[in-house]
Amino acid sequence: MVPTAFVLLDRLPLTPNGKVDRAALPAPDFAARVSGREPRTETERVLCELFAEVLGLDRVGVEDGFFELGGDSIMSMQLASKARRAGLALTPRQVFEEKTPERLAEVARPTTTGAEVADVGVGEVAWTPVMHALGKRVVGTGFAQWVVLGAPAGLGLEVLTAGLAVVLDTHDMLRARAVPGAPKLVVGVPGSVDAAALVSRVEAGPADVEQVAREAVTRLDPSAGVNVQAVWVDAGPDEAGRLVLVAHHLVVDGVSWRVLLPDLRAACEAVAEGREPVLDPVGTSFRRWSHLLSEQAVSEDRVAELEAWQALLGEPEPPLGGRALDPDVDTAPTLLHRSWTVPAEQAAVVVERIPAAFHCGVHEVLLAGLAAAVVHWRGNADGSLLVEVEGHGREPVEGVDLSRTVGWFTSSHPVRLEVPAGQLDDAMAGGPAAGSLVKAVKEQIRAIPGDGLGYDLLRHLNPETAPALESAPAPQVGFNYLGRFTTGHSTGPAGPWQPTGGVSGSVDPDLPVTHSVAAAAVVRDAVDGPELEITLSWAGRLLGEADAERLGETWLAMLGGLADHTTSPDAGGHTPSDFPLLDLAQHQIEELEAAFGRGHRSR
């Protein structure tokens, strides 16, 4: 019965009535927690070191859980990739199931050096489902993402050009060219893109950076193979400069930036120091992945999922704003946005303590709060909500390594969430209903057909199944958990190569709005602890600002209720999906936990 983490206090915080103020208790410091024993084998030692490297911790113990320490699905792919380079064969699925270095050491096997499947990233690349979903608009010049970094001292056009050239040659999709009128791209050979033509310098201050980025977007032309722009914003000798990196959305997604930014830094620093830039190799090419998707879309196993997806979509729901979305009226410029920051003490509980207590992911906690908020906000008597969940799309497949692959992988799938409508006030107040809510939503999310990728495949890549899903009800609410990022600073200007904010973007102004309400969340690990920001975007001609504001405040309050409930000593517990090899009902699990305690690890 080893505690998950320790927090030493001089005294317990008390309420005015002299009772322990549970809400004022600090969240456990998972970064400082190291399990009891030292690694006994070389495999355990290597895995402990890799855990610490991926999670940004000084040290990790053999019994420490990857996700309890802040890991997510993208980090699990990075861990599997680093393990492979260290000589250990692991899959992201094994990381999810085994969780600790101790248990992963039992399933890890030495990597083999036998013949591998030929993987050539150059040539024709078929559109992926997310590209098909947007159709011809996807090649518009305004559909882009960008990131702003602190410019390092001594950055010059020659260094930036040479560093970008290495990145272009390493990541195939940056050399892609859209084929007019055809749902495909063509990737050129390394060296086929002139980096010098993509790099520029402007004299401007930090306040002008967004305008610089938007001007750079206008220079993109995927039909001509111009997918990237790098702009050095020189603010003069007395002020820190900026580096603006812009890429067309056809060739990147949010996860791709986690690869591109460290690679560009490594390449530029090597050039500046007179060294030969050497970047880590890319595993599976985007070209091969797109071919795998096309094959899967018509496979017997995927087609067998169709009936389950149709049943999940069910019957149409009443319109959120009194009418359905109109693609001619509800377009991108009509979207309104509002963000809220979860209080720091609650944020630490939501992103660390709740997932650890309920053996789930942060996205499941956020979705539980969102579903409850929408049902409460609508006054939905049946407590049912259909949500489209956007994901990174890099689902684990045997023999595929996408941890360093740059491209647009984004996927989405619907999930039907049934929440206890009559108990939502209790959940918001931190009562027992909050725990029941998390457990119910967790199980419903995990009950979707397969790995969730099949919906997009059957909807966009299989002409036989596409009509059935196209005519089915579409979710009016969207959700996207953007993941967890390290900022490295809490105040003051960003340092060299440090992002000044998140990933920004632009779209075609004629792009129709796909959801009446779209919710997003992001976690930033600052030096003062995790920061959780939630955002709502809504069709401004469909919903009033006051209504959307009330929904956002309700979501924030629901997350606060979940956090308050989790400070109770009887909060948490397992659910049936934690025991895939056993046929256990929820009440049976709770009986076992009552008899033996919740501290036992699931296997």
Dump pLDDT digits (tens) for 390-406.
999 998 787 788 989 99
> What integer pLDDT is reported at residue 405 of this predicted model?
95
User: pLDDT by residue (tens digit) across 293-323?
Assistant: 999 999 999 999 999 999 999 999 999 988 9
Q: Give the containing element (helix H, strand E) for 588.
A: helix 586-596
Q: How far apart are CA 5 and CA 1, in angstroms?
A: 12
Closest CA to 3 of 340, 312, 356: 356
pLDDT for 602 beyond 50: no
> What integer pLDDT is reported at residue 131 of this predicted model?
95
pLDDT for 112 beyond 80: no
Give the tokens for residue 594. 């009552």
Amino acid in the structure at residue 270: A
> What integer pLDDT is reported at residue 32 of this predicted model?
44
Cβ-contact 35, 449 below 8 angstroms: no
User: pLDDT by residue (tens digit) across 258-275?
Assistant: 999 999 999 999 999 999
> What integer pLDDT is reported at residue 595 of this predicted model?
83
> What integer pLDDT is reported at residue 477 of this predicted model?
98
> What integer pLDDT is reported at residue 491 of this predicted model?
42
Higher pLDDT, 588 or 603: 588
Average confidence score pLDDT of the chain: 89
List of residues 6+ apart from 223 with CB closer than 8 A: 139, 177, 178, 179, 180
Cβ-contact 427, 566 below 8 angstroms: no
Residue 1's pLDDT band (cuts 50, 70, 90): very low
Give the tokens for residue 225. 């193979």
pLDDT for 476 beyond 90: yes
Q: How far apart are CA 162 and CA 139, in angstroms?
A: 28
Q: How far apart are CA 255 and CA 308, in angstroms?
A: 29
Q: How far apart are CA 364 and CA 360, in angstroms?
A: 7
Q: How far apart are CA 256 and CA 408, in angstroms?
A: 8
Higher pLDDT, 21 or 110: 110
> What integer pLDDT is reported at residue 10 of this predicted model?
63
pLDDT for 489 beyond 60: no
The order of strands in the sheet holding 184-187 is 123-126, 184-187, 176-178
Higher pLDDT, 547 or 381: 547
Main-chain phi, psi angles of 544, to 5 degrees: -75, 155
Within 10 Å of residue 125's Cβ, how many Cβ atoms? 26
Which whole number is the average pLDDT over 168-189? 96
Give the tokens for residue 40. 């006994």
Which whole number is the average pLDDT over 357-371? 95
Q: How far apart are CA 38 and CA 36, in angstroms?
A: 7
pLDDT for 36 beyond 70: no
Which whole number is the average pLDDT over 163-191? 96
Q: Give the containing element (helix H, strand E) for 89.
A: strand 88-89
Closest CA to 131 of 222, 235, 15, 28: 222
CA distance between the termini of the chain? 16
All structural domains of the chain, each given as residue ranges with its CATH number in brackets, are 22-110 (1.10.1200.10), 123-282 (3.30.559.10), 334-401+409-490+515-572 (3.30.559.30)
pTM: predicted TM-score of the whole model, two decimal places:
0.84
Give the tokens for residue 165. 């050239």
Q: Note the residue count of the chain.
A: 603
User: pLDDT by residue (tens digit) across 61-71?
Assistant: 999 888 878 78
The order of strands in the sheet holding 228-234 is 199-203, 228-234, 242-248, 144-150, 504-506
Strand 228-234 to strand 477-486: parallel, antiparallel, or no bridges (unpaired)?
Answer: unpaired
Which whole number is the average pLDDT over 148-174? 94
pLDDT for 2 beyond 50: no
User: pLDDT by residue (tens digit) across 539-582?
Assistant: 999 999 999 999 999 999 999 999 999 988 889 999 999 888 88
* Number of alpha carbons in the 13 Å side-chain half-sphere of residue 54: 26
List of residues 6+ apart from 577 with CB closer than 8 A: 442, 443, 446, 447
Residue 73 — left, alpha, or beta (φ > 0 → left; ψ -120 to 50 → alpha)? alpha
Cβ-contact 317, 472 below 8 angstroms: no
Q: Is 317 exposed, middle or buried (0-12, 13-18, 19+ CB in 10 A)?
A: middle
Amino acid in the structure at residue 117: V
Q: How far apart are CA 377 and CA 548, in angstroms?
A: 10
Q: How far apart are CA 286 and CA 410, in angstroms?
A: 12
pLDDT for 380 beyond 90: no
Give the tokens for residue 434. 């909050």
Higher pLDDT, 527 or 363: 363
pLDDT for 31 beyond 50: no
Cβ-contact 277, 267 below 8 angstroms: yes
